Structure 1
Amino acid sequence: MGQAGSSVFLSVAAQQIFDGADMRGPGVVRISQGQIDSITFGEEARASIHLPADAILAPGFIDIQVNGGGGVLLNDQPTKAGVHRIVAAHGKAGTTGCLPTLITDRREVIERLAEAAQACLKIPGVLGFHLEGPALNRSRKGIHPEAEIRVPDRRDLATIKSFGGRGRSVVTLAPECLPAYMIDELIGAGLRISAGHSDATAAEIRPAVDRGILGVTHLFNAMSQLNAREPGLVGAALEDDRLFAGIICDGIHVDRAGLRVAFRCKGRDRLMLVTDAMPLVGTDDRQFLLQGRPITLQENRLTGLDGTLAGAHLTMIEAVRNAVALVGIPLIDALIMASRTPATFLGLESELGRIAPGYRADLVAFSPNFEVIGTWIGGVGSMGGASMASHRG
């Protein structure tokens, strides 16, 4: 290949192009050396790929919380092969960047992922990692194993801090459950900290945000709720414009009214669509084992034997569809919540989340029925199924 930008290697023509800010078109996106070389509107131009007339081309989706997919749970296979299968399963649904997520587990499991992390970052679509735990509040543990919830010792802390040098990685913790100096150390190591599985009061959250906590993990779920005289983590998240918040838009984890309230309070620039996906995504299976406990899928709901929700059976294209169809969020806003906002949270807003010259060519094309037609990561991708676009020289 030649020098970056020296020639065009792929061009995609679409009648509708969401460039990360506005819906425009028709136009042609030209890709060179894995980046957007140029975008031209209003011209009849030759292109290597012509999308169907009703298709939308948009920035690829970024999922900051994905526990599994393709039959793999990251905790069971914290390896390059395991991560590759997870990424491949979600790539078919439009996810071009993700943080494979490890839920609370034994020290040895975290260390295995740390050892494999550098190799995993070479997999297209892996932007970093998300460690959900182990410093959580047992009273808000959800499906996390109580026996492994703990304040990190120095060995744990060193391993977790190592992820600060492994892409744009995130740690979810309950800020009321560990000393402030540990939070400072994690932030100082380059990690993004998100509050979650927490029973914190609003008064406990505010100083933690002042210290540098950036996000809230799966808003409304496994956290202190908004009450009349105690706003809790939910109230703090809705009130503080500094905080980003991930939300599971599957119609199960959060009621539609709650989703609308979150959108009105946080807006498209602070609310992020996440999947919290489990291994069954991309498979026909109905059950898997989560750290030895059977988890069953029924009516799109994943639960343990006691009925506790155990992650979600969700893809990013489904989350976008649900945001539009169930909540009434405008499509443009839903797409921003699935791409530009998580890119900003990760500090990648100058590289991802837009279709503009110089941005990485991470793209998704989908139909009006929210069926993914094609996914490209760095300009390399695949076209799918019955909706295959026509190719022209």
Structure 2
Amino acid sequence: MVRYIYADKFFLDGTVTGPGFLKIKDGRFGDFSKEMPDKAAEVIDYTGHWIAPGLVDTHIHGFRNHDIMDCDFEGLNQISEGLLSCGVTSFLPTTLTSSTEALNTIVEMIGTHYTKVRGAKIKGIFLEGPFFTEKHKGAQNTKYFCDPSIEKLKTWQKQSKQLVRKIAIAPERKGAAEFIEYAASEEIAVALAHSDATYEQAQHAVEKGAIIFVHTFNGMSPLHHREPGMAGAAINLKDVFAEIICDGHHVHPAAANILMNARGRDQTLLVTDCMMAGGMPEGNYQLGEFPVEVKDGAARIAGGSLAGSILQLKDAVKNVVEWGIATPEEAIYMASTAPAKSIGMEGECGKIATGYGADFIVLTPDLGLMATYLDGVCRYQVQKEGVR
């Protein structure tokens, strides 16, 4: 089956163009044309709208009152379906620090059932912990902190059917260098997080193969002019990616702009770190084993520390544009292509390019989400006006 999408603007791989027609055949993207190539084919008309690649959230713990740590497939499916309303078409279910046994069970559940979810596609698992240090623990349970273990990672890979795509560690822990080398050799993206590492320790981890800094500025040793710390490493080191949570609570817009300017918007990742309260009213929730209060747009544990977020990725895109620190093209790239590249999945998702699965979103010129498509099929729609 061949159809064409007509819109005013298209954010294609490496270029922005339009108006024109984007071919979709058998659930995959075809060529883009300024003129309609086939007068007899069906056209879905999005006049006045923009077409962008489906967003890729590589750091998300939950949504719509479900948590990955619940280890429940129906909850995982509800997260997957709910993410379509956020413009997300691919994601990494993200765990928290927990016991080895609990993580064994969770990754096995995801590895067994991940192809059955009916919404956003699961592209792997992100293990956030348990190899962290206490000073910048955030909402991670210190009871389970330990040194990196290659054997544990091997078990998680086996239990998940090789689905672990990303793992975060504190680089100052004993055995970190050997662990990073092993994980990188297995094509697992090693991320650095919840750490009091020096700049040199972070640099050494990157030299061994670490490639991502997790929620930059949060949960890490800060930038100081005599000890640049993890934050300084995230800003200054070459050929790495830096996550950032742009909800207006985790990081000041000026700090986000500093990171983007230094790191480059092609190596900055918009993530949500969203927990189960995403898409829900304010109130009391859980993040793993911790009770969390969501109030005034932020999620906090007792004592006031931030506990993930309730951010939706479509809103992170909109925020950085409204803050004046990114163009729409840059913002969309930071939430789609860049995250896919950071986990080695740029060949599968995060782009509008010939042959890729037709996962895309329809936006208004002010970056409001109108619709989300998976494999060329509309799976979420705000309204039907303008579509025929």
Report the TM-score when normalising by structure 2. 0.93
Aligned to 1:371: 368
Change (3 A) 1:388 1:87: farther
Asked whether the 8 Å contact 1:55–1:368 carries over to 2, the reply is: yes
Aligned to 1:49: 44
Deviates more, 1:113-122 or 1:168-177: 113-122
Cα deviation, residue 162, structure 1: 3.5
Aligned to 1:86: 79
Larger fraction in strand: 2
d(CA) in 1 for partners of 2:380, 2:133: 44
Change (3 A) 1:23 1:157: closer
Corresponding position: 1:234 with 2:227: no
Corresponding position: 1:142 with 2:142: no
Cα deviation, residue 167, structure 1: 4.2
Corresponding position: 1:170 with 2:163: no
Cα deviation, residue 117, structure 1: 2.6
Corresponding position: 1:290 with 2:287: yes
d(CA) in 2 for partners of 1:383, 1:290: 27
Asked whether the 8 Å contact 1:316–1:338 carries over to 2, the reply is: yes
Which secondary structure state, in structure 1, belongs to the residue aligned with residue 69 of structure 2? Answer: coil
**RMSD (Å) for aligned C-alpha atoms:** 2.0
Which secondary structure state, in structure 2, belongs to the residue aligned with residue 132 of structure 1? Answer: strand
Identity of paired residues, percent?
29
- Choose which of 53, 60, 80 in structure 1 pairs with 2:54: 60
Code of the residue aligned with 1:290 in structure 2: it is L
- Choose which of 64, 71, 74 in structure 1 pairs with 2:68: 74
Aligned to 2:315: 318
Change (3 A) 1:47 1:241: farther
Aligned to 1:343: 340
Report the TM-score when normalising by structure 1. 0.91
Deviations 1:82-120 (A, max 9, x none): 221111111111001110100111222211122123234
Which secondary structure state, in structure 2, belongs to the residue aligned with residue 275 of structure 1? Answer: coil
Cα deviation, residue 285, structure 1: 4.9
What stretches of structure 1 of length at least 5 have no aligned partner?
A: 1-6
- Choose which of 378, 382, 388 in structure 2 pairs with 1:381: 378
Which secondary structure state, in structure 2, belongs to the residue aligned with residue 317 of structure 1? Answer: helix
Q: How do 1:1-393 and structure 2 match up within 5 A?
A: 7-8=1-2, 10-43=3-36, 47-51=42-46, 53-76=47-70, 78-122=71-115, 123=117, 124-152=120-148, 156-162=152-158, 166-167=162-163, 169-179=165-175, 180-386=177-383, 388-391=385-388
Asked whether the 8 Å contact 2:84–2:379 carries over to 1, the reply is: no
How many residues of Structure 1 are paired with residues of Structure 2 in the alignment?
382
Which secondary structure state, in structure 1, belongs to the residue aligned with residue 383 of structure 2? Answer: helix
Change (3 A) 1:337 1:321: same
Change (3 A) 1:266 1:153: closer
Asked whether the 8 Å contact 1:248–1:275 carries over to 2, the reply is: yes
d(CA) in 1 for partners of 2:84, 2:164: 19
d(CA) in 2 for partners of 1:282, 1:389: 26
Change (3 A) 1:279 1:388: farther
Aligned to 1:4: none
d(CA) in 2 for partners of 1:204, 1:152: 15
